[in-house]
Amino acid sequence: MHEQLGLKGKVSVVVGSSKGWGRGVALGLAAEGSSVVVNGTDPQAVTKVVEEIRSRGGTATGLAVGVHTAEGAQRLTDFAIAGFGRLDVLINSSGGKTSATILEVSEAELDRAIDVQMKAPFLMTHFAAKAMVEGGRPGRIITLAGGAAVRGLYGESMHAATKGAVLAATWTWAMELERFGITVNAIRGGVRSPGTEPLIARIREQLKGRGAPHDMSDRELGFFEPEDAAPLAVWLASDDASSVTGQFVGIDGPKITIWALAEAAEIVEPGGWNFERLGRIVRPQLEAATEKSRQSGQVIAALNYVPDAK
């Protein structure tokens, strides 16, 4: 336990912590002395993580409830306060993406993506932030936003849209809650989990099609175990990160990426814009930006980990 983190005695709610990265974060917070409320929709999976934390000497309880409704989010928040008397940390780790191109997407799939990956973090942040303000203590809110929020990922527009919405909201939440001593940050990571296994398989197929090596381990492709990425979330939840808010940070094994806010390139034409000027002046800039976007996809990122492709 690292005393400088100040997590001993704190209470953390980790949404979506019955598996994957959320589970790793819950274990990490408990190891640093925080009481943890484990959450998921599968009661058996929630109980398993609670028992795992307790077997390691930590303090935990759990509630299996969906938090994509106000009733569910309020219930989880009340459960934490009733059990531990306070709420200091919220980790939004709910996920459940379905891959489909825009030609294939269904309304049911879109509704599910919005519920799980947008409504759930919005509602949990609403109720948890109110509880923190009413409690009169500083708080930490951290959302797992995902890399799809900032770069193209074929077949993942629903995932990208919902994660991107929460990332954009993070910057506003940080402004709104800073005066109460509540920090709000978003993170992403190259993490191997049930949700990313189909993506890893697709990356291997695309690497194979490019003639690049594709038989490496998940770690060699840039997807690490949840426990490797958990320290970032735990640290952002700590007193040591009390001055950090409104930021988007990535972790890929040994690499940390600090993402900047969107930067605008302004072009001023005193005479105004017509079709000729748009084609002559603006088009070259947009074509360069288009090519840059093509080079930022997930497969391109994976190629950085392939030795023969560097």
Instruction: Take residue 106 and report the two structure tokens written for it.
Output: 């269904």
Q: Give the predicted TM-score (pTM) of the model.
A: 0.86
Longest dimension (CA), the chain: 72
Tell me the pLDDT tens digit for each residue of 188-202: 887 767 667 777 777
Q: Name the residue ranges covered by the structural domains of the chain.
A: 3-259, 275-309
| CATH architecture assignment, domain 3-259 | 3-Layer(aba) Sandwich (3.40)
CA–CA gap between residue 110 and residue 100 (Å, rounded): 10
**pLDDT for the residue numbered 290:** 80
The residue-averaged pLDDT of 50-56 equals 98
pLDDT band per the 50, 70, 90 thresholds, residue 259 = confident
Instruction: Take residue 43 and report the two structure tokens written for it.
Output: 């009661």
Alpha carbon distances (Å) from 229 to 21, 111, 189, 246: 7, 29, 7, 19
The more confidently predicted of residues 248 and 215 is 248
Backbone dihedral region of 283: left (phi > 0), alpha (psi from -120 to 50 degrees) or beta?
Answer: alpha
Instruction: Take residue 113 and report the two structure tokens written for it.
Output: 């993506």
Token pair 């990208």 is at which residue? 160
Amino acid at 255: K
Residues 6+ apart with CB under 8 A from 85: 11
pLDDT at 291 over 90: no
CA–CA gap between residue 68 and residue 112 (Å, rounded): 10
Instruction: Take residue 71 and report the two structure tokens written for it.
Output: 């009733």
CA–CA gap between residue 141 and residue 86 (Å, rounded): 14
Tell me the pLDDT tens digit for each residue of 151-162: 777 788 998 899
Residue 183: how many CB atoms within 10 A of its CB?
23
